[in-house]
């Protein structure tokens, strides 16, 4: 147990659970990043519903969304941290988990603010189907991310998270990693997207993705149709080109947009306190 509000102690414990020799590429880092993103990426600006507040993925309605398959691994990795620092909310822990994992994997420092609640406001619950589908193209990507309030530049910067981790046939149906070293944050995803010759492949399960095979590499690399849509779209493409050649600019833009992502749906006063949580309105606590 730590003192309530000692987020540095929480960060330390997140950092020390990242090494997981028995899990993917020996690291819990990438799946923690995805948990932070999926917990936030349900936001709809127009109706002000969804977002990280409430940690709704604990419940079947959101946790059982096929788009969230596999994220129980991330939640299980974080459970000992929650048990030790009982005062931290799941919604804060899941967003901080992503931020700390990115930093520990060599990525930028991302601004993170505390104060999310685990109070579930029924009127804010997102319907299923708000997260992106990798089989689609640029129109779908814009439909999903404009809904959250992101620009084309921000969409491309956020997509750079695919430098981390991998696809699992038993979760999304896609298979493989985007880069050879998927536990090290960098701009390699953009560089490979531009430099390699991507070939369409239909997997045994009927899922279509793009692959590149290099004899010297351990495994085939992959790109989703949505990843390559960034390169074929005239408004996304210049950002792919910029981030492929300017790593520092990518880190800077990624840090800004990831910080924006995890704040979706949260309004704060000058002291950083959250002002739009109505604990009185019908709902339930953890
Ligand atoms: Fe993603 N992502 N993502 N992604 N994502 C997958 C894995 C990971 C899409 C689809 C998939 C973002 C955007 C998109 C991460 C972070 C982020 C997988 C594989 C699919 C499919 C899941 C599995 O089989 O386990 C699509 C489509 C989009 C889109 O933009 C259109 C964003 C914005 C982020 C972010 O973090 C900001 C990470 C990390 C992973 C690796 C997870 C793992 O377990 O490893």
| Contact between 176 and 189 (Cβ < 8 Å) | no
Which residues are marked as active site?
Answer: 38, 178
Which residue of 32, 167, 254 sits with most ligand 1 atoms within 8 Å of its CB, as the best mutation to test the pocket? 167
Percent of the chain at pLDDT above 70? 97
- pLDDT mean over 145-174: 98
Locate the ligand 1 atom nearest the alpha carbon of residue 177 and give its number: 45
- pTM exceeding 0.90: yes
Distance (Å, whole) CA 71 – CA 138? 25
Check if 164 has its Cβ closer than 6 Å to any atom of ligand 1. yes
Class of domain 7-131+256-280: mainly alpha
The answer to whether domain 7-131+256-280 and domain 138-245 are alike in fold is no
CA-based Rg of the chain, rounded to a whole angstrom?
18
Beta pairing partners, 283: 121
Query: Tell me, what's the ipTM?
Result: 0.99
Q: Is the pLDDT of residue 279 over 70?
A: no
Instruction: Using the mean position of ligand 1's atoms as its centre, give its distance from the Cα of residue 272 in Å.
Output: 29
Q: Which residues of 92-124 are buried (b: 16+ CB within 10 A; e: fewer)?
A: bbbbbbbbbbbbbbebbebebbbbbbbbbbeeb
Domain limits, the chain: 7-131+256-280, 138-245
The counts of H helices and E strands in the chain are 11, 7
Locate the ligand 1 atom nearest the alpha carbon of residue 172 and give its number: 24
| Contact between 240 and 156 (Cβ < 8 Å) | yes
Class of domain 138-245: mainly alpha
* SS3 call for 204: coil
Instruction: Using the mean position of ligand 1's atoms as its centre, give its distance from the Cα of residue 277 in Å.
Output: 29
- pLDDT tens profile 216-268: 777 899 999 999 999 999 999 999 999 999 999 999 999 999 999 999 999 99
Locate the ligand 1 atom nearest the alpha carbon of residue 132 and give its number: 27
Which residue of 25, 131, 161 sits with most ligand 1 atoms within 8 Å of its CB, as the best mutation to test the pocket? 161
Instruction: Using the mean position of ligand 1's atoms as its centre, give its distance from the Cα of residue 34 in Å.
Output: 6
Check if 236 has its Cβ closer than 6 Å to any atom of ligand 1. no
């Amino acid at each position: 147990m730590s003192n309530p509000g000692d987020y540095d102690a929480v960060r330390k414990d997140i950092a020390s659970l990242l090494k997981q020799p028995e899990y993917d590429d020996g690291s819990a880092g990438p799946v923690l990043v995805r948990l932070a993103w999926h917990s936030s990426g349900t936001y709809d600006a127009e109706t002000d519903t969804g977002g990280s507040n409430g940690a709704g993925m604990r419940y079947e309605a959101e946790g059982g969304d096929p788009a969230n398959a596999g994220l129980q691994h991330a939640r299980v990795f974080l459970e000992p941290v929650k048990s030790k620092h009982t005062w931290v909310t799941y919604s804060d822990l899941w967003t901080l988990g992503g931020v700390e994992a990115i930093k520990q994997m060599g990525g930028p420092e991302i601004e993170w603010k505390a104060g999310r609640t685990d109070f579930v406001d029924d009127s804010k619950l997102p319907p299923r189907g708000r997260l992106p589908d990798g089989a689609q193209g640029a129109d779908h990507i814009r439909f999903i991310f404009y809904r959250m309030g992101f620009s084309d530049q921000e969409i491309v910067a956020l997509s750079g998270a695919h430098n981390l981790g991998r696809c699992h046939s038993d979760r999304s149906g896609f298979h493989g990693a985007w880069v050879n070293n998927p536990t090290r944050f960098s701009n390699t995803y953009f560089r490979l997207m531009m430099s390699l010759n991507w070939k369409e492949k239909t997997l045994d399960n009927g899922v279509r993705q793009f692959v590149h095979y290099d004899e010297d590499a351990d495994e085939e690399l992959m790109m989703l149709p949505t990843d390559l849509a960034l390169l074929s779209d005239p408004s996304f493409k210049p950002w792919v080109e910029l981030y492929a050649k300017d790593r520092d600019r990518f880190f800077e833009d990624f840090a800004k947009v990831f910080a924006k992502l995890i704040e979706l749906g949260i309004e704060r006063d000058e002291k950083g306190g959250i002002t739009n949580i109505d604990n009185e309105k019908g709902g339930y606590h953890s």
